[in-house]
Structure 1
Amino acid sequence: MNPFTAEKFTVVTLSLLIAVICALPLLLLFKIGLINEGSLDLRPLLEALQSRSVLRALWHSLESSALSALCATFLGTALALVIGLTNVRAKGLLVFLILLPMMIPPHVTAIAWIQALGPASPILRWLNIAPELGSDHPLYSLSGLVMLLTLQHSPLVFLLVRAALRSFPRELSDAARVSGARAPRMLLKITLPLLGPALMAGFALSFVAALGNFGINALIGIPARYTTLPVLVWRRLASFGPDVLPNVAVISVVLTLVALTAIALQSILQKRMRSALVGLPQAPLAISLGTKRPLVEAVIWSFIGAVLLLPAASLIATALVKTYGLDLSLDTLTFDNFAEVLWRQSVTLRAFANSTGIAALAALTIAGISIPLGYFLISRKGTHGRLASIAAGQADIAFAVPGLVMSIAFILAFIRPLPILNVSLYGTLWIILIAYISCFLAVGLKPVAAAFLQMDMSLDDAARVSGAGFIRRMRTIFAPLVAPAAASGAILVFLTAYNEVTVSALLWSTGNETIGTTIFNYEDGGYTTLAAAMSVIVVIATIIIMIAMNVMARKVPAGTIPWRD
């Protein structure tokens, strides 16, 4: 196979594959929701928008997502500025702990906080400050929902703003300080204006993530009677009526249009706010806090302690009592809940095996796709570059669309047997795996594309002149150079897929459970102590994975561990 044919075959194959798993399901969703007898029909959409339940759920989704995105942007930016620009100590540990909530499944976060602040909270009861039994739970409200969404998504903003700070040329800060500008003036006049695109991206990502969040919206919103669009879709699909698929397809189209509109507005505003910078990126200044450093550090550590320790302690205490609501004491202490989920419940062990297997396979597959796709996306012009750009755009859309909508789209795409093979993927682990690859491909592709952008592509020209074909160039030059970035993306994909519940909420079946759906079903079914025990195991497993990767950081190339510099 000559080099031209190998390149053409690879880019066409990748483009077709991404079109099938990213674009085709969404096209079928829009076809069911908006196409009638071969022509565009907006009547179902207009009827849905006239429905009181849909309008109320739409408003609830917009309200909670916007408020939580604003709060997450403020909180994430404040933490990034303090840790990124000042001389606070233990920055590496602080970054690790701030990012930890992002790695914890949203439904586990909701369960932990429900148990931490409710009338039956073992910690609050032990301290004699728990709300009275029978009183309303303080989290079952709009403010409770916004608080949990903020805590879940503020690490996203923190990551983006911290990365933007590290990309600034040092000369900006030096010039301002030489001119006599103090830290507050530098922040208002230089840093925050230049952070505009990053802040806009953080807000948009937080908004879209909150819009599609199912775990927190379900566990907090349902008891609070605050139904959002993802929960409405889940409820309608669970009704199994004769017109259930067209009905949820229309609602899913509404949710998709809102998400894509938010992303489009973010892109437009980012372009207008962008400022050209001259100079190489360098480590930002470490502004001395002087005598205020102990106070600032105390505030940061108190915040982290409240966010992590209170819900974690409540989760552990709930997992260690015989029945939910009992005070934790020597008489009520038991490890039966852990024994139940680890050894007696076959569904639990199966869920751990399923999630570990398909998350790892999805991460490896995405890494394998991202390396050649990133090459064509950055280095190639003409038809190859256009095909790669279209494929990357489809991956971005699949990531931006809420996971519950993508699961509906995959049901529509794969509910019938595959042509020629006559094999149905619906009701198997394969449909969850393909959905993971589709939804998280953009996560793995971004760091690889960034690595190719930083590369001198004259390497490619030199290899061509030396007679190296496409396969050999990829194997001996580009794959080794971008391997750390591909590994970083794969780690993020694995951690995201390992604990997720939104995508698999509608795709799982008996024998094909995931960790996320099993915990959600335990809590939804009233088995609170079992849900707490399994949640504790998942949190411990996530922390062990992240610590192990931190230990490996010195033995792998820089950039392999995504949260390390």
Structure 2
Amino acid sequence: MSVMSEQEAQRAAFARASAFDLRPEVWIPMVLLAGTLGFPFFLLVTSAFNVGDPEAFPATVYGIDNFIALSGHLDWIRNTLVIAGGGTALGLVIGVVLAWIIHRTTMPGRKLFELLIAIPYPLGPLVGALAWSQLGAPRDGLINRMFGAITGIETHLINIYTPMGIIFVEAIFEAPVAVLIIGAAMQRMDPSLEECSSIFGSGKLRTAWKVTLPLMLPAVASAALFMFTSMIGSFAIPTMLGTSSRFYVATNAMYVLLQGYPPNYPLAAALGLVLICMTALAVWLVQRVLRGKSYAVISGKNYRPRQVDMGWMTGVLFAIAALYVLLSLILPMVTLLLASFQSSNAISFNFPAWTLGNYKYVMFDFPTTQQAILNSLLLGVGTGVIGVLLATFIALATHRSRSDGRRLLEQMAMLPQAFPRLIFAIGFLWMILALPLKLYGTLFAVLLAYVIVFLPLAYRGMSGVVVQIDIALEEAARISGAGVFRILRTVTLPLLRPGLLATWALLFMVSVREISASLFLSGPGTQVLGPAIFSFWDSGGMPRVSALAVVQALIILIALTLVRSLANRGANV
């Protein structure tokens, strides 16, 4: 009897194994992602434990000496945690307050503010750091000069070249992501939950604090995780605002290690591995906090989100929103415009001395910046097209295919978010150098890195659209005799059009302003705007670097305007 039961168990196990159905639409992207993510990570890990030839890829002699050496530079890790933690906390406060003002109150001009608040994120941290270095410099910053001229006090009002200054700039340029994530959750919340609080005598602010905010915890945690992982890998802001005071975080310390002679690859890799572990720990902590708890805010009944009339406080809320737009958008862009018209590094209001020569230089006279502008446009378009196609394919495979392994594919598509971009770029660089193909120094290498780095962003955008399309529409077309490709052309793709356009625009904008992923991959002939602006800043030519930053910002704003125009036109058809 036991023999028979054992045989039956073996047959059942074999039947289950043979029933495992892994289809091409799932395993093909899994293999591609495993190769493009796994090999760079393997090289990074082996280099971190390399105690032999520092330029051997992969390493041949292993040990933990590099991690022991990091114990002498714990300030790099401490500073990284201070900036990431402080920036995330401040960014969350800004994000929660602005999301609540825009989506849950009757403040006038909410639609306009929703647009203006979103713009600083695609402009990017490089533009923010450059602008605030001219606004908040202790001696010749524009704010301190105006403060001294008005009050006659020689002491500076602010000093942006401090850890608090770095945290401030990080927070205001990452906060739009928190507004987007938390605002989306607030729009879907059943207002009856807040009405119950009001019935029991709670005021509007107490209801927001005791009811609305706790129910938004998953969205707040998601926003916090996104900002924390982004700030852990932030390079431009800590480098441009912290280098003069010798304030090093992990990313700019890695840059110094790799730019030194000889470059210290193993120590840089060990530091990068520590950052990846910190990111993984943050993901685990967020999942642990949310596990086993219910935050259901959407019920089966029909309802409309209700805005709260804040009475006399509406003016205060308007001032808060306007202050954020002033600090994150208006002041930085005006400052860069003013600096781009100057003939010296100091901003002067002597209008006859202003010049357009800096724009002429970066757009027409200097071949490197001309090439950088063209390459950035090509990469933006290419990343948008390939990224959208890949993300759409993975989203359809995840939500439409009946293949096994769908959830694993989804997790792999989101995995690049766990890699700080500078660290991934280093591992990716080592990978293309190890391959027999001569990809280093080509735009294709930068394009491939961009597609991988921004895949989580593209996948989340397309996945959210795919799940909203009822599969019954595709089933109806199939029953009517349409084939797979005809269903895609006549049903699925037309319904995906708004999401395709929005995701393409997002990928275009973040690609044009990216610096970390291209800093080590771009070279002569493949220079792009981010590293070109950083190189100009490093050489001290503030008027010309400001002009180039304005050109980059204009490209992003024009793309945003065109996409919104096309989206509105499509909505009116």
| TM-score higher than 0.5 | yes
Matched, 1:276 2:296: yes
Counterparts in 2 of 1:39-188, with a 5 A limit? Answer: 43-44=64-65, 46-50=67-71, 52-53=72-73, 55-118=74-137, 119-122=139-142, 124-125=144-145, 128-129=148-149, 138-188=159-209
Aligned runs of 1:284-363 on 2, under 5 Å? 284-325=305-346, 327-363=348-384
Compared CA separation, residues 480 and 329, structure 1 to 2 (3 A): same
Q: Greater CA radius of gyration, 1 or 2?
A: 2
Correspondent of 1:21 among 17, 32, 36: 36
Say whether 1:254 aligns with 2:269.
no
Q: Is contact 1:32-1:246 (8 Å) kept?
A: yes
**Could you tell me how far apart the structure 1 residues matched to 2:469 and 2:197 are?**
32
Q: Does residue 285 of structure 2 align to residue 265 of structure 1?
A: yes
Gap change, CA 1:170 and 1:335, over 3 Å in 2? same
TM-score by length of 2: 0.88
From 193, 205, 229, the counterpart of 2:226: 205
Matches of 1:517 and 1:432 in 2, distance apart? 12
Match of 1:279, SS? coil
Counterpart Cα distance in 1 of 2:366 and 2:187 = 48
Tell me the amino acid that sits aligned with residue 284 of structure 2: A
1:510 maps to which residue? 524
Is the 8 Å Cα contact of residues 406 and 503 (structure 1) preserved in structure 2?
yes
* Superimposed CA distance per residue, residues 170-219 of structure 1 (whole angstroms, 9 cap, x where no aligned partner): 33234444555432232133211110111111111111111111100110
Alignment match of 2:414 (pick from 375, 392, 396): 396
Deviates more, 1:451-460 or 1:399-408: 451-460
Q: What SS does the corresponding residue of 1:223 show, helix, strand or coil?
A: coil
Q: What is the CA–CA distance in structure 2 between the aligned matches of 1:512 and 1:262, rounded to whole Å? A: 35
2:517 is equivalent to residue 499 of structure 1: no
Residue identity over aligned pairs, in percent, reads 22
More displaced 10-residue stretch of structure 1: 220-229 or 269-278: 269-278
Is 1:364 the equivalent of 2:379?
Answer: no
Separation (CA, whole Å) in 2 of partners of 1:161 and 1:522: 37
Q: 2: distance between equivalents of 1:287 and 1:10?
A: 47
Secondary structure class of the residue paired with 1:505: coil
| Equivalent residues of 1:105, 1:499 under 8 A apart | yes
Whether contact under 8 Å (2:147, 2:153) holds in the other structure is no
Partner of 1:3: none
- Other structure's SS at 2:343 match: coil
Q: Work out the CA distance in 2 between the residues paired with 1:476 and 1:30.
A: 47
CA contact (8 A) 2:421 2:516 kept: yes
| 2:391 is aligned with 1:373 | no
Q: Provide closer, same or farther for how the CA distance between residues 22 and 363 of structure 1 changes in structure 2, counting only shifts above 3 A.
A: farther
Per-residue CA distance 1:142-180 (angstroms, 9 max, x = gap):
111111111111111111110010111233234444555
Distance 1:311 1:382, change over 3 A: closer
Q: 1:255-300: per-residue Cα shift (whole Å, max 9, x none)?
A: 1111122122222223345423423685421111223323332342
The match for 1:545 among 548, 556, 559 is 559
CA spacing shift, 1:22–1:417, aligned 2, 3 Å: closer
- The answer to whether the Cα contact below 8 Å between 2:23 and 2:403 also exists between their aligned partners in 1 is no
Distance change >3 Å, CA 490–CA 22, structure 1 → 2: farther
Runs of at least 5 residues in structure 2 that lack an aligned partner in the other structure: 1-21, 52-57
- The structural deviation recorded for 1:487 is 2.4
Q: Aligned partners of 2:122 and 2:496: how far apart in 1?
A: 24
Q: What's the counterpart of residue 260 of structure 2? A: 239
User: Counterpart amino acid of 1:268?
Assistant: R
Which residue does the alignment assign to 1:433?
A: 447
Pairwise CA RMSD: 2.8
Shift of 1:319: 1.3
Aligned residue pairs, count:
543
**Shift of the alpha carbon at 1:458?**
3.8
* Match status 1:478 vs 2:492: yes
Between the aligned partners of 1:476 and 1:482, the Cα distance in structure 2 is 11
Query: How far apart are the structure 1 equivalents of 2:365 and 2:90?
Result: 42
Distance in 2 of aligned mates of 1:263 and 1:140: 30
Would the alpha carbon gap of residues 340 and 39 (structure 1) be closer, same or farther in structure 2, given more than 3 Å must change?
A: closer
User: Would the alpha carbon gap of residues 462 and 178 (structure 1) be closer, same or farther in structure 2, given more than 3 Å must change?
Assistant: same
Equivalent pair of 1:116/1:315 in contact (CA under 8 Å): no
- Specify which of 15, 40, 46 is matched with residue 31 of structure 1: 46
Residue pair 2:148, 2:156 contacting (<8 A) in 1 also:
no
Whole-angstrom distance in 1 between the partners of 2:114 and 2:218: 22
**One-letter code of the match for 1:23?**
G
Hey, what's the Cα distance between the residues in 1 that align with 2:131 and 2:118?
A: 17
CA distance in 1, matches of 2:358, 2:407: 50
Q: Which of 425, 428, 433 lines up with 1:415 in the alignment?
A: 433
Say whether the 8 Å CA contact 2:345–2:543 is kept in structure 1. yes
Q: C-alpha offsets along residues 403-435 of structure 1, whole Å, 9 cap, x if unaligned?
A: 1001001111101343xxxx3111111111001
Given the superposition, is the C-alpha separation of residues 362 and 16 from structure 1 closer, same or farther in structure 2, using an over 3 Å criterion?
Answer: same
Which residue does 1:227 correspond to in 2? 248
Please give the secondary structure, in 2, of the residue aligned with 1:49.
Answer: helix
CA distance in 1, matches of 2:311, 2:340: 44
Q: How far did 1:79 drift?
A: 0.8
Single out whichever of 118-127 and 21-30 deviates more from structure 2.
118-127
Which is worse superposed, 192-201 or 533-542?
533-542
The SS at the match of 1:424 is: coil
TM-score by length of structure 1 reads 0.89
Contact 1:256–1:402 (Cα < 8 Å) also in 2: yes
Quote the offset at 1:326 in angstroms: 5.1
Identify the residue that residue 535 of structure 1 maps to in structure 2.
549
Deviation at 1:241, TM superposition (A): 1.7
Q: Give the stretch that moved more between structures: 405-414 or 546-555.
A: 546-555
- Residue pair 2:512, 2:556 contacting (<8 A) in 1 also: no
Give me the whole-angstrom Cα distance separating, in 1, the residues matched to 2:293 and 2:181: 16
Between 121-130 and 453-462, the greater mean CA deviation after superposition: 121-130
